Amino acid sequence: MITIPKASNPQDDMADTDLIVRKDRTSLKRVLSKSVLGLISLFMLIPIMIVLLSWTQPMADIWPHMGEYVLPQVLKNTAILLAMVTVISGSVGTSLAWVTSMYRFPGQRFFSWALMLPLAIPAYVFAFVTVGMVDFSGPLQTSLRELGVTTAIPSVRNVWGAGFILSLAFYPYVYLLARQAFLSQGHRAIEAGQMLGLSRSRVFFRLALPQALPWIIGGLLLASMETLADFGAVSVFNVDTFTTAIYKAWFGFFSLTTAAQLAALLIGVVFIVVIFEQYWQARRGSITAQSSNKRLTSNAAAKWGMTLLCSLVFLLAFLVPFLQLLYWTAMNYRQDFDARYIDFVTNSLLIASMTTVLIAFLAIIIAWIKRQYADKSTKLMTTLANLGYVVPGTVLAVGVFIPIAWLDNQLIAFGITTKQVLSGSVIVMLLALSTRFMTVSFQPIDRQLQRLTVNQEAAAELLSSSPLQRWRQVVLPVLSPGVLTALLMGFVEVMKEMPITLMTRRQGWDTLAVRVFEMTSEGMWARAALPSLLIVLVGLIPVWILLRQSEKHS
Amino acid sequence: MSLQALNAPFAVSQPIKATLSVAVVSMMLALVGCNKAETPEQTTQGETPATETETTAAPADSEQVVTIYSSRNEQLIKPLLDKYTEATGVKVELVTDKAGPLMERLKAEGDNTPADMLLTVDAGNLWQAAEQGLLQPVASETLNANVPAKYRDPEGQWTGLSLRARTIMYDPSKVDASELSTYADLADPKWKGKLCLRTSNAVYNQSLIASMIENLGEEKTEQVVRGWVDNLATDVFSNDTSMLEAIAAGQCQVGLSNSYYYGRILDEKPDFPVKIFWANQDTTGTHVNISGAGVVTGSDNPDGALKLMEWLSSDEAQGLYASSDKEYPVKEGIDESEMLRSWGEFKRDDISVQKFGSLQTQAIQLMDKAGYK
């Protein structure tokens, strides 16, 4: 509820002198805002700069080898993976979002939230569960052979298998963001379309889809960046990508320089993509938030078709891997489950919550400043602040660790401290994780902020007495679904994250993901099921919260 | 349009708002709390603290803490370290990660590192750590006596602590042991469509190829690797365990694995239908690699680290490596576990393990060229 303030603000009597004062204030505000943005971007950029600086070092002599024997395969695989994830995640995510938000069909209420659940399963877990299940020696093919079926099922341990699993693991990004768009604007589009006599599919392709595109592309951007940075899943499938090439240069050839140079190339590619995306987004303009509760009607066959589609995706992307984890856990928990798990869970929860809140807070600031000053330098800084997501976790961890350790060593050298206080502290973990996941928060918040129209803002400026009030009464209400999505996605991401946590945690600060690493590093997949299952279960909490929220709106 | 209408569709309900603000505040408090909670602990890390939380009158030795950066699997190494703490009262802190990131961490921390010891698998990794100046030379009578020279760095920067044999595994229902001989023989066309391999990204394969380059020369080794690739029954595996399961399931008939992976499966499934064959017995001997450790250059407690390493080379610890981890003791004359004895004696390749480190780059390049993924 908004109480309309009395228009007694002296500044509202616009005397000429006031105008000058205002102008001064705006320029001051501008400088201030930009410095804040610059500071945040710089903060986020340090680890990436460390990586980029590698190009100032001479090319290692393994470059010709990498160029001839490694990179061609890497580029091919990366292209296939990106294409698969974009097409499959994009179409699956968008169509599921469309049917669950626009139609009533058997199971619609259930699926509208259940289809978010795969978000809680880390891609590396999804990968080892899949390979464990469907490989030649897995239960599926073994029982088929026992039944006398000897037809060879093609191996999944290749780029196609990896692409399929990554698509299933990452479609929820598209689903979540697209659903947010459809829920609030789809009905209007349909009403308008129907009035104009357009068919269903034309309404979707001509009206609803174009309007929801910024959201869908935001989701696809997350999915593709996640694909580019993935190491765990592709190594289970043994597919060479940019990330594995980086690891090969580093762990195999012990040339961190080459590894960093490869990472810098990767960042360069993504930088171009992101710039293009922003340019494209900017041309779309802002979209009004509107909503209605009406649902579309459809015939029975179509309804059951929707149920079937949702069931299939839910089964493949969540239920089957979840049940397999449950089964493995049941078989193995006695060996591993002990009191330490209380620590693992609390540590995971704590670091995920802290990071999530921090990045949501920073993302709001960045998105707001970006909205106020849509010039080139602002856009550039925003882009830079969001690049961390594409840097493979381990490389980013090194980028964070080197400056922090340097700072620590300086503090010790100058006698300010006697030992390291920063390295291995929660602050470093927070910093590294924030750098990595900033964009996960930024995407939904930025998209949501685009819905705040200039008119709304102007009305608010007219009616509210203070900026704070304006924020509370107009901006935050519009922003809150985006913030919630940001919190949910950030939380789940940090829960799942492995390499940064491994590198930056202090002694004894083990999380569930660290446990998964301990087990999978020796190929003990069945024993990795217990911590994996807990990651999924804890990750479901925010999914459930978000669901309750989105139900209130729909 | 009224302001209410603007507000309505996206209003977050009051309870959620409250929850959110409580969440934010508590996170901030938690953050502060964490840092505060750290301070007393952190003071205990460095020099000898005046007051410990555990006020039990322990011997002076127990005040010392040895911090290990380890790339060894925690559940395999922790029981051994716990035994050490039990026996001596010395606390052991364990930080685990992959070897590469741990080395970067050591480099960044320099002289102020909290680590005293680097514990890792594969001679190549240890050699690299020494190359990069992360380890300091130590002179220890005990280590010299317990660990044969070929498993140690000549300058004493690192020491092998357990041995890992990488050899041929086969399906006895389809393959007769008399058909098997050397690693190179697996390149013979008679194995076409019958061979399973783990990825060339695995450091164990890199060291095996390095040893083959040393034994057979580069040209011959490349031919062998090409032959392996031609004989593959299916895409390469991401770990040894899956590869062994594939042999058991009949997807292929022969493969290469470290012996302890096989041993750990046998522990759980005594009827596992795969057999072990010691490769190259008539020629150079079966390829063995090490797991090992070194004292970190910037260590505050190098003596503590060395003592722990000496203990790990003792009869008691060496016996544990064999019985619980199914690895071979690096010390000679240790009573191996029953399972290891059942696999029989075998001739080991005599190459000094430090060769693996220096030949690693060459080995990887060779595998890339030969199309071994």
Q: What tokens appear for B285 in the block?
A: 């001997």
Give CA–CA dist A332/A529, Å, rounded: 8
Q: Which chain A residue shows the shortest CA-CA distance from B41?
A: A507
* Nearest chain B CA: its distance from A305 CA (Å): 30
pLDDT tier at A21, thresholds 50, 70, 90: low
Give CA–CA dist B162/B329, Å, rounded: 5
Question: CB atoms < 10 A from the CB of B5, how many?
Answer: 9
Return the percentage of chain A with pLDDT > 70, whole number: 90
* Nearest chain A CA: its distance from B126 CA (Å): 12
The DSSP secondary structure of A186-220, one letter per residue, reads: HHHHHHHHHHTT--HHHIIIIIIHHHHHHHHHHHH
Q: What would the pLDDT profile of A175-219 be if each residue is shown by its tens digit?
A: 988 988 888 776 666 777 777 777 777 778 877 888 888 889 889
Contacts with B, A 126-185, CB within 8 Å: 131, 135-137, 141-142, 155, 157-158, 184
- Residues of chain B positioned with their CB less than 8 A from the CB of A477: 6-7, 10-12
Give the per-residue pLDDT at A307: 94
Give the per-residue pLDDT at B170: 97
- Residues of chain B positioned with their CB less than 8 A from the CB of A237: 238
Give the per-residue pLDDT at B366: 97
Give the per-residue pLDDT at A33: 84
Q: Out of B93, B104, B368, whose CB is closest to A70?
A: B368
Q: Out of B10, B30, B114, whose CB is closest to A350?
A: B30
User: Residue A400 corresponds to which amino acid?
Assistant: V
* Nearest chain A CA: its distance from B145 CA (Å): 31
Q: Out of B6, B132, B248, whose CB is closest to A456?
A: B6
What backbone torsions phi and psi does residue B70 show, to the nearest 5 degrees? -130, 135
* Nearest chain B CA: its distance from A361 CA (Å): 10
Give CA–CA dist A448/A181, Å, rounded: 9
User: Residue A344 corresponds to which amino acid?
Assistant: F
Give CA–CA dist B78/B98, Å, rounded: 16
- Residues of chain B positioned with their CB less than 8 A from the CB of A499: 101
Whether residue A477 and residue B11 make contact (CB cut-off 8 A), yes or no, is yes
**CB environment A138-148: b (16+ within 10 A), e (fewer):** beebeeeeeee
Q: What would the pLDDT profile of B211-261 be if each residue is shown by its tens digit?
A: 999 999 999 999 999 999 999 999 999 999 999 999 999 999 999 999 999
pLDDT of A68 above 70: yes
HSE-up of B315 (CA within 13 Å, CB side)? 3
Whether residue A157 and residue B236 make contact (CB cut-off 8 A), yes or no, is yes
Coil vs helix vs strand at B366: helix
The answer to whether the CB of A89 falls within 8 A of the CB of A223 is yes
The DSSP secondary structure of B32-44, one letter per residue, reads: HHHHHHHHHHHHH
The answer to whether the CB of A493 falls within 8 A of the CB of A366 is no
The answer to whether the CB of B354 falls within 8 A of the CB of B185 is no
pLDDT of A23 above 90: no
Give CA–CA dist B314/A316, Å, rounded: 51
Counted across chains A and B, CB pairs separated by less than 8 A come out at 208
The answer to whether the CB of B319 falls within 8 A of the CB of B142 is no
Give the per-residue pLDDT at B239: 92
pLDDT of B304 above 90: yes
Give CA–CA dist B299/B93, Å, rounded: 13
- Residues of chain B positioned with their CB less than 8 A from the CB of A60: none
Give CA–CA dist A379/A375, Å, rounded: 6
Complex ipTM: 0.83
H or E segment to which residue B341 belongs: helix B338-342
Whether residue B3 and residue A254 make contact (CB cut-off 8 A), yes or no, is no
- Listed in order, strand segments (DSSP E) in chain B are 65-70, 91-96, 117-121, 135-136, 159-170, 195-196, 254-258, 275-277, 287-296, 328-329
* Nearest chain A CA: its distance from B124 CA (Å): 9
pLDDT of B208 above 70: yes
Q: Mean pLDDT lowest for which of A171-175, A503-507, B178-182?
A: A503-507
The answer to whether the CB of B239 falls within 8 A of the CB of B198 is yes
Q: What would the pLDDT profile of A384-439 be if each residue is shown by its tens digit?
A: 888 888 788 878 888 888 888 888 888 888 888 887 788 778 888 888 899 999 98
Average pLDDT, chain B: 85
pLDDT tier at A20, thresholds 50, 70, 90: low
Whether residue A427 and residue B16 make contact (CB cut-off 8 A), yes or no, is no
The residue with tokens 């190494």 is B77
Counting DSSP H helices and E strands in chain B, the numbers are: 14, 10
- Residues of chain A positioned with their CB less than 8 A from the CB of B104: 256, 398, 401-402
Give CA–CA dist B161/B68, Å, rounded: 15
The answer to whether the CB of B275 falls within 8 A of the CB of B144 is no
- SS3 track for A321-382: HHHHHHHHHHHHHHHHCCCHHHHHHHHHHHHHHHHHHHHHHHHHHHHHHHHHCCCHHHHHHH
